[in-house]
Amino acid sequence: MSQGKLFLIPTYLSSDNDASFMSPMVTEVLKNTQHYFVENVRTARRFISSLKAGITIEDLEFQVLDKKSNWDQMYPLFDPIRNGKDMAVISEAGVPCLADPGNLAVSFAHQTHIRVVPMPGTSSIQMALIASGFNGQRFTFHGYLPIDKAPRQQKIRELEKLSQSGYTQLFMETPYRNQQLIKDILKTCRPDTLLSIAADISGSAEKILTQPISKWQKTDIQIHKIPAIFSFGEFP
């Protein structure tokens, strides 16, 4: 018996999105897959239901894969693939494995000779970068910054300096801490440093703006609890 494959399934970037944002290829894979790795079972079920693809949710099996998961748990979870069934990793937002714990399953698949198949979809990191006006050939994504104020401000200064080398520096924050992060950036950075903020990408409240810190200090930006990507960079 040939073994199954591990598909990487993208999801919506905004709560406003619907099935029209998904590639037909993704829907077709979901129609033929019953076993999933997910970060949150409830949101994964809601996403699959929203596609209105005639999938019976009660027939599906979900395994939680989050920051608490570890390598030792992986082997038995891959039993369906060893038995010839396909499995899939579903992200909470955007594509799996970018700011997402799905890479644990993917790394296990590679090391146990299981085929990994990424499906087409969008990433908020990618979309924020191309909409920023900054260098799209040389960039670094740093994920979440430190929570504590002093280390956070130190990291902001570090990223600000790195952005002057021509490498775009992207980062993010838990949405309910966005306003505090903005406050720290405005207090820490030089007036001429360029900051891009891309919030609720592809959603009805989408806001994408790149301007110097001096102008941000005069801008009323309210993105509390709204997913956002931040970046420092330079215009050509």
pLDDT digits (tens, 9 = 90+) for 198-225: 999 999 999 999 999 999 999 999 999 9
Count Cβ atoms below 10 Å from residue 35 Cβ, excluding itself.
20
Q: Give the per-residue pLDDT at 99.
A: 86
The DSSP code for 164 is T
Asked if residue 81 lies in contact with residue 87, where contact means CB atoms within 8 angstroms, the answer is yes
The per-residue pLDDT for range 49-103, each reduced to its tens digit, is 999 999 999 999 999 998 899 888 999 999 999 999 999 999 999 999 998 888 9
The strands making up 207-212's β-sheet, listed across from edge to edge, are: 139-144, 168-172, 228-233, 194-199, 207-212
| Residue 67 pLDDT | 86
User: Regarding the domain delimited by 124-233, which CATH topology (the fold level of the hierarchy) does it fall under?
Assistant: 3.30.950
Query: By the 8 A CB rule, do 12 and 32 touch?
Result: no
The domain segmentation of the chain, as residue ranges, is 6-118, 124-233
Mean per-residue pLDDT, 181-201: 97
> H or E stretch including 184?
helix 178-188
- What pLDDT, on a 0 to 100 scale, did the predictor assign at position 197? 98
- Enter the pTM of the model: 0.91
CATH number of the structural domain 6-118: 3.40.1010.10
Torsion of CA 30, 55, 24, 81, to 10 degrees: 10
Give the mean pLDDT of 25-42.
Answer: 96
pLDDT of residue 100: 86
108-129 pLDDT per residue, tens:
999 999 999 999 999 999 999 9
